[in-house]
Amino acid sequence: MAKGDVRNQAPPTPRRPARPAAPRPLPGGASRPAIAGKTRPALPPGPIPAVPAATRIRVVSGPNLDLLGLREPEIYGTATLLDLHAELTSIGAARGIELECLQSNHEGDLVTWVAHAGREGFDGVVLNAGALTHTSIALLDAVRASGLPVVEVHLSNPEAREEYRRRSMIAEACVGKVTGFGPASYALGLLALVDRLRGGAELRTSSNAGRRGGV
């Protein structure tokens, strides 16, 4: 074969790239820090904790309560029902309470709203049934059928008024009753109900805050 003829020669073997040298151990067996951006932070062991769901409360008001602020203000005050609902919503937002505030002059609406509250995802009911408090067996049955804790509330104190207002048909099925404090009856009933649902934590927290504030 002539000098310089490479037709029958095997192609040259490609060289493998040199491997990077292993890092030298640090004195004392210490490990080198990881390069930023090259590793992910380790997740904590166990399942990721779920975000606690808000406590859901349905607030139901009965006949003539849409006239608050106009009807007998010397008894029921000058605040409107919208004012009352806004105050309750503010209280709820500060405490992780989700509210639905409803009012109707029709007994069937109240029966449906109370009886179906549990099936619709609510944890309890604050109920001012108005004059139906003294007459409605259907509403008593709805409170029982709901399977939820229900707190009866009234702006005035029925026991201090006419004889026919002193009997509550729904009281025996409710977990408690707040009366005579005007619009604050709703707020007190709401806090007491949530306190019951949360195992006494709500009012205990409020009491501690009051002591810290010097109340």
Domain ranges of the chain: 55-209
Identify the band that residue 30 occupies on the pLDDT scale cut at 50, 70 and 90: low
Is the pLDDT assigned to residue 214 strictly greater than 50?
no
Q: What is the pLDDT of residue 186?
A: 97
Whole-number pLDDT of residue 107: 98
Distance in angstroms (rounded) separating the CA atoms of residues 137 and 134: 9
Query: Is there a catalytic annotation at residue 85?
Result: no
Model confidence pTM above 0.75: no
CA 155 to chain centre: 25
Q: Which of 76, 106, 134, 164 is catalytic?
A: 76
Q: How far apart are CA 91 and CA 183, in angstroms?
A: 13
Band of pLDDT at residue 35, cut at 50, 70 and 90: very low
Structural fold of domain 55-209: Rossmann fold (3.40.50)
Find the length of the chain: 215
Instruction: Give the CA distances from residue 26 to residues 19, 20, 33, in Å, rounded to whole numbers and listed in that order.
Output: 21, 17, 11
| Average pLDDT over every residue of 152-161 | 91
